[in-house]
Amino acid sequence: MTAYLVSLELPEDDPADIQESLQELGALVRTLGDECIGVTVQKKAKPVPATYIGLGKAEEIKNSCVLLKIDYVVFDQELSPTQVRNLENLIAKPVLDRTSIILQIFKKNARSKESKTQVEIVHLEYMAPRLSNAWITWERQRGGGGAGGRVKGAGETQIEIDRRRMKDKISSLKKDLEKILKERETQRKNRADEWNVVLVGYTNAGKTTLMNALTESHLSAKDSLFETLDSSVRRIRGTNNMNILVTDTVGFIRNLPHGLVASFRSTMEEASKADLLLHIVDISHKSYKEHIKVTDEVLAQVGAAEVPKIIVFNKIDNIVGEPRLPRILARSYPKSICISSHKEEDIRRFREMIVQFLAQNMVESTFHVNYGDSKMLSLIYSHTRVLESNWTQDEGIFRVRMSKSVYQRYFVSGKNEDIQEW
């Protein structure tokens, strides 16, 4: 299928950022296996409420679609359901936005029951208010099958039927997801005594390739956006008496919709419950600083801002003629390392850094908490990783792990019987 890309440039926007975001949108479309045939940017003081772009620009896009034989139009910004319907009436083609393209990629790449269920929920919630004949046609051309079902109630239109069935399907899927998440929480508790290291970062930064190198695994690591949606867990070998598990997670991207982040909150809880985050950055990308910013923003949204972190500048082998770059980065980002995931010496050095960081920056402590001490319980569950908990007639006993900085900030005066430094 062929796509035509559209963006709106407002006075406060940087034209270079608009172009880069459009390039990223083009990469998203190509990840679906489609082709980007044309692109246009309109400069306006503010979006048009009914159609986002001006009517003249919409007519221009319609003519381009006929001339270039375009299958659908994609806006780089998020559109309201009303804007989508109005634009489809004007352009006479299916109109999508950045969010809908990302959702299609998520549907394509979801493999586990958990990720498939999460994606289907957010897809249906997003699609229900945007249903139109053009959207349904586009979905079926992609093999989505539409909403299914043909049982009409009195006076119902086909779109009303589809919306009703979507609502029922969402309710059923959410119940299924609750069961899946309970099972995953049980699995996490069974691994509580092992160190939990989680890879995070911008999409296509090389997280899975690096995980394969660290853990001697063979996970799929294609050069495409959102290749990884499922949390894969592997063990680092050769770490003496330390049992270290490494978890790969879904990549981030700019303008990732808040609803999409919320839908994957359960998956990203892996990051919030980690002992250490490895923030993977493609240092060869010209916008690596923006990628760091986007990742940090999403980590804050999922409650992982305070988790100890090492920034890993990956793909350093793609940088030519800048021998001083590692020293410059080390000054700007003290807790960082520059590596190539394809060099054994770099991986050995990186593995040693992980072990040393965990040993020097983590403490284990046991807290005795009185019944009714909700403040202490909140601190424990919000800022530590609970390894073990037991309640007696008089109190709760919690064995927890946390960074030294968290201990100093929240628990230095707490009632505990034992502190163990690693």
Binding-site residue positions for Mg(2+): 208, 228
First vs last Cα of the chain: how many Å apart? 56
393 class by beta-carbon count within 10 Å (0-12 exposed, 13-18 middle, 19+ buried): exposed
Distance from C-alpha of 387 to C-alpha of 103, rounded to nearest angstrom: 36
196 close to 247: Cβ distance less than 8 angstroms: yes
Q: Pick out the residues of the known binding site.
A: 201-208, 226-230, 248-251, 314-317, 340-342
Give whole-number Cα distances, 347 to 19, 222, 327, 357, in Å. 35, 20, 19, 15
Q: How many other CB atoms are found less than 10 A from the CB of residue 146?
A: 16
- Per-residue buried b or exposed e for 124-138, using 16+ beta carbons within 10 Å of the residue's own CB: bebbbebbbebbbeb
- Look up residue 33 and give its two tokens: 């296996």
| Binding-site residue set for GTP | 201-208, 226-230, 248-251, 314-317, 340-342
Specify the 3-state DSSP secondary structure of 85.
Answer: helix
CA atoms within 13 A on the CB side of 24: 27
